[in-house]
Amino acid sequence: MRSSRNYNAFVYGLFLTPLLALLVIFLAYPIVLSVSTSFQAGNSGNWIGTGNYDRFFADPASGQLVFNSFVRGIGGVVPSYLLGLVAALALNRAVRGRAALRLFILIPFVISAPVGLGMWKLLLDPYFGVPAALGLDIENVFSNADIVWFVLLGINAWASFQFYTMLLLAGLSSVPEERYEAARVDGAGLWQRFRHITLPGITAVTVAACGLHFINSFQEFNLVYILTGGGPLGATQTLATDSYVKAFSNYDNGYATTLTTVSIVVMVAAIVVILAFGWILSRLRLMVGPYLPEIRMPRFRPSAPGSLARQGRVMPAVTAIVMAVVSMAPILFVLSRSLDGSPGGSEAVSIIPREWTLSNFVTVLTSPALWDSSGVAVPPLAFNFMNSIVVTFCVTAIVLFVSMFGGYALSRLTGWVSKFVVALLVFFQLVPVIVLVFPLYEILSSMGLLGTQIGQVLATSVLFISMGTLFFRVFFDNVPREIEESASLDGAGPVRILLQIVRPLAKPVIGAMAAYTLINSWNEYLLATTLISDSTTRTFPAALQQFMSSYNFTATTTPGQQAVYLLIPIIAAIILLALTQRQLAAAYEGGAVKG
């Protein structure tokens, strides 16, 4: 019996080997390298101690960087949460066409950053966008320091409120329906039920989701870098975007890693202050609680039964439709522009096409830029599209394999090793991508993998392995051990038990994790544009951003044709979402908060 336990522990250790190897090489070591590089001068490798940190605190612009990062972090959470809560409350009811409405609402969430932000550039263009269509003579909103943050955060809310929608739907489903029934019997209205039942029921999910989203928003890179580049005049420059500029434009890797290290410290300090404030409030409540008057359950003011029934049927359906319209409106405008044959200019712009035509599609779909590299400065985008397919499926396969074996081993192992690895996975789940970019660049370069799809696949895989492993571990913890014990008595070893007995039970989890990884790796932009400089090797989001930001493209391509280029990846994202939306929702509902 003892030898059998030792053998199983040895096999579980082998299961963990690929996971630990990837985590050490592409996560733990990069973090250590990033911190150590912050004590070096530029790219020289010369040790200067705290020189970079002294430079940061002496720079008058540093305060603005920190402030902008908090604007990005807090401003990314609040409007997104409110919209996500509204959408979740609507979709939680049994409204007609709920599956289709959920699909429409989730579409912005699966559109890659270059495509979604490129769409908003076209939408808000003062000459070819909605302002021109409405006859408004305004300047470029991305160049106006007074309103640029409101515009950026509004776009962010449009693209990210779906994260809260999926998580809050899971939280709402856990609130017992009996509480609502009892409240209805007492005559409680919608607001009363929401205040006294719904909000307390989703508090845990809300705190976890907002905390995770704040961490990601505080360090987020794509929104600011693609739309404003930190402008106008540094008004939107954050710690994340400025660190990228310092590393790849100013070639000052030491100071760039200093900025990422400072951003982590500031972010963690903010979280600690918030948690401490909450702890103090809870302790005060315990201290003064015995001296407070008794709190009675609220007495609900009776409402007319007919009024409650009508509200219960109509309001969720109307709200869900409105949220679907909010999600789809920018995409519908781009579709309208793609069907408009007018050449451009403010006098020819309209929300509804003035010259209905498919010529824009014909021009783009037969363009050498899409299919043939001859005569253009960049390779055909169809080639980059194939690169995305290859990279996405390789990343998904690696994540599923490593996460399933690692999660099973962590679920079956006992002792400090399992707890320590789980704690590391939780920590790695919170590390922003921008922290890993600079050291990964050096590591892949030293391994000879910089600029290769193999290097990109390995680097991208580690972004999802932590969540995947935690996700599988939670599932395997709930698998009855009696099944495995019976198989073990029949002579089955850990490998056979996992692959032939436990794996079939995990099909829903595998599907959920596959959907999550497919969509997120398909849309990955930061690593793709940083680790791959060769246009022939880049994946589609990075290649499309490079192609559409060139002067030749903007000078020779009509707004209608630009819209077609944006629609191609949008259509691909919609198809991918339609095939995986249930699994994707299950991944967020089951794994994101538990992890």
**What's the rounded Cα separation, in Å, for the pair 242 and 26?**
23
- Among 185-189, 305-309, 438-442, which is the least confidently predicted range? 305-309
Nearest to 120 by CA among 237, 221, 227: 227
Please give the DSSP secondary-structure letter assigned to residue 47.
E
In this prediction, residue 349 has a pLDDT band, given cuts at 50, 70 and 90, of low
8 A C-beta contact, residue 487 and residue 501 = yes
Give the pLDDT confidence score for residue 309 in this predicted structure.
Answer: 45
8 A C-beta contact, residue 534 and residue 542 = no
- Among 311-320, 494-503, 520-529, which is the least confidently predicted range? 311-320
Nearest to 430 by CA among 215, 282, 164: 215
pLDDT at 592 over 50: no
Phi and psi angles of residue 46, each rounded to the nearest 5 degrees, phi first: -75, 130
8 A C-beta contact, residue 388 and residue 538 = no
Give the pLDDT confidence score for residue 590 in this predicted structure.
Answer: 58
Average pLDDT over residues 167-181: 81
Nearest to 19 by CA among 392, 389, 413, 391: 413
Give the pLDDT confidence score for residue 327 in this predicted structure.
Answer: 94
Residue type, 478: N
In this prediction, residue 447 has a pLDDT band, given cuts at 50, 70 and 90, of very high
- pTM, two decimal places: 0.86
In 249-301, which residue ranges form alpha helices assigned H by DSSP? 253-288
In this prediction, residue 282 has a pLDDT band, given cuts at 50, 70 and 90, of low
**What's the rounded Cα separation, in Å, for the pair 401 and 472?**
11
CA-based diameter of the chain, in Å? 84
Give the pLDDT confidence score for residue 294 in this predicted structure.
Answer: 44
DSSP3 helix / strand / coil % (the chain, rounded to 5): 75, 0, 25
pLDDT at 300 over 50: no
In this prediction, residue 256 has a pLDDT band, given cuts at 50, 70 and 90, of very high
Q: Which residues contact 8 (CB under 8 A, 6 or more apart)?
A: 412, 494
Compute the C-alpha angle 14/475/484, nearest 5°: 65
Per-residue pLDDT of 376-389, as tens digits, reads 555 688 889 999 99
Per-residue pLDDT of 471-505, as tens digits, reads 899 889 888 877 777 877 777 788 888 888 888 88
**What's the rounded Cα separation, in Å, for the pair 136 and 213?**
35
8 A C-beta contact, residue 364 and residue 380 = no
pLDDT at 372 over 80: no
* Domains along the sequence of the chain with CATH: 49-288+310-328 (1.10.3720.10)
When the pLDDT of each residue in the chain is averaged and rounded to a whole number, the result is 85
In this prediction, residue 348 has a pLDDT band, given cuts at 50, 70 and 90, of low
Average pLDDT over residues 180-204: 80
Give the pLDDT confidence score for residue 589 in this predicted structure.
Answer: 61
Give the pLDDT confidence score for residue 536 in this predicted structure.
Answer: 84
pLDDT at 305 over 70: no
**What's the rounded Cα separation, in Å, for the pair 163 and 377?**
38
pLDDT at 228 over 90: yes
